[in-house]
Amino acid sequence: MRQGATADKTEELGQHTESARRMRREYKQDKAASQEHDSDLAVIVMDFSQNLTIPSVTSTPSQWYFCSLLAVNVFGIFYENEGTQTNYVYDEFTSGKGSDQINSMLQHFIRTVLVPAGKKHLMVYADNCSGQNKNNHVIKFFLAQVQRGTFERVDYKFFVKGHTKNSCDRGFGHIRKHISRSDCWTMDHVISAVKDAAASNRTVHISRGNDFFKSYKPLLQELYKTLAGVQQYQIFSMIMEKPGVVLCKKGPDDAPVEKDLRRIVDGVLTENEKVVRMMDHFLEDLPVRPKNAEKIAEFYKNIRPYVPDEY
């Protein structure tokens, strides 16, 4: 019995390793394709970094090890075509790490980088974190981008769990290394440190109280049905020829399964014009996070005494 169980585990490990190898091969091929002259393909990798903190100083007071510091979120989008990384930086009082935040940052990158470059085929790589990236709302966001005509095709691909090291990680490593050598007492200090960590970095600071983050969930839920069994697939493709349809694959070499997510209202499937109208005219700001009075009081009591007066 024990030998049989061991054999099963060995076979399972072999399959897992082979799946990871296939996705890595796919990733390398896509990166190479993005470098072709006059290609309309854009390849990006997106990920959240480990949280930074404020304050972050080279000689940390021992009392801080027992305190909760202000967390700073960093969401990176690495643009393989140009070898540059855009880092979106905002603190925990500004917003969280949900699909609305991811979609808002993706929309900014698409609008400011990809559309001006004339890209029509978007390839997106992400890690296999089901709580953040791999969920229905991000998939539906890409589906809407195709159905509204921003792209002719979007491929959303996931690295295999345990094998998720990617181009963003390199950029995050530079940031952590640079910040570990700096004294960052304020958000402005952190923004400067992130910006200076690498020459190829582009930094977007999302401050509290602005209208950067949008509420995509209600619109996407009205336009599209939930994609069932999302966790079993590694690749999701959306093409202009099949509006509202997601082609789901368990791996690069597997046959796609078609999932039509368009809702039927009064006997009519979700039309392209409706997607354009709702995304352009009915997208609302994401509600501002309420202030955490308890944590602010804790900052003033435990952290403020160690901060230089000028800050």
pLDDT digits (tens, 9 = 90+) for 161-201: 755 678 899 999 999 999 999 899 999 999 999 999 988 88
So what's the pLDDT on residue 9? 57
So what's the pLDDT on residue 130? 57
Q: What is the pLDDT of residues 17-60, one digit of tens each?
A: 777 788 888 899 999 999 998 899 999 999 999 999 999 988 87
**61 vs 200, more confident:** 200
The Cα–Cα gap between 103 and 71 comes to 21
Q: How high is the mean pLDDT of the chain?
A: 90
Among 91-95, 227-231, 305-309, name the most confident range.
91-95
pTM over 0.95: no
So what's the pLDDT on residue 164? 64
CB environment 248-263: b (16+ within 10 A), e (fewer): bbeeeeeeeeebebbe
- Give me the phi and psi of 61, to 5 degrees please: -55, 140
So what's the pLDDT on residue 132? 47
Pairing status of strand 235-239 against strand 245-249? antiparallel
Q: What is the pLDDT of residues 2-21, one digit of tens each?
A: 555 565 555 555 565 777 78
So what's the pLDDT on residue 184? 92
So what's the pLDDT on residue 285? 97
So what's the pLDDT on residue 12? 57
So what's the pLDDT on residue 82? 95
The Cα–Cα gap between 188 and 173 comes to 20
The domain spans of the chain are 41-151+160-227+262-304
Pairing status of strand 41-48 against strand 121-126? parallel
**121 vs 129, more confident:** 121
Which of 2, 81, 71 is CA-nearest to residue 34?
Answer: 81
Please report which confidence band the pLDDT of residue 1 belongs to, taking 50, 70 and 90 as the band edges.
very low
So what's the pLDDT on residue 272? 97
Please report which confidence band the pLDDT of residue 248 belongs to, taking 50, 70 and 90 as the band edges.
very high
Q: Are 307 and 55 in contact (CB under 8 A)?
A: yes
So what's the pLDDT on residue 3? 57
Q: Are 51 and 39 in contact (CB under 8 A)?
A: no
The string of DSSP codes covering 146-189 is HHTTS-SEEEEEEPPTT----HHHHHHHHHHHHHHTS-B-SHHH
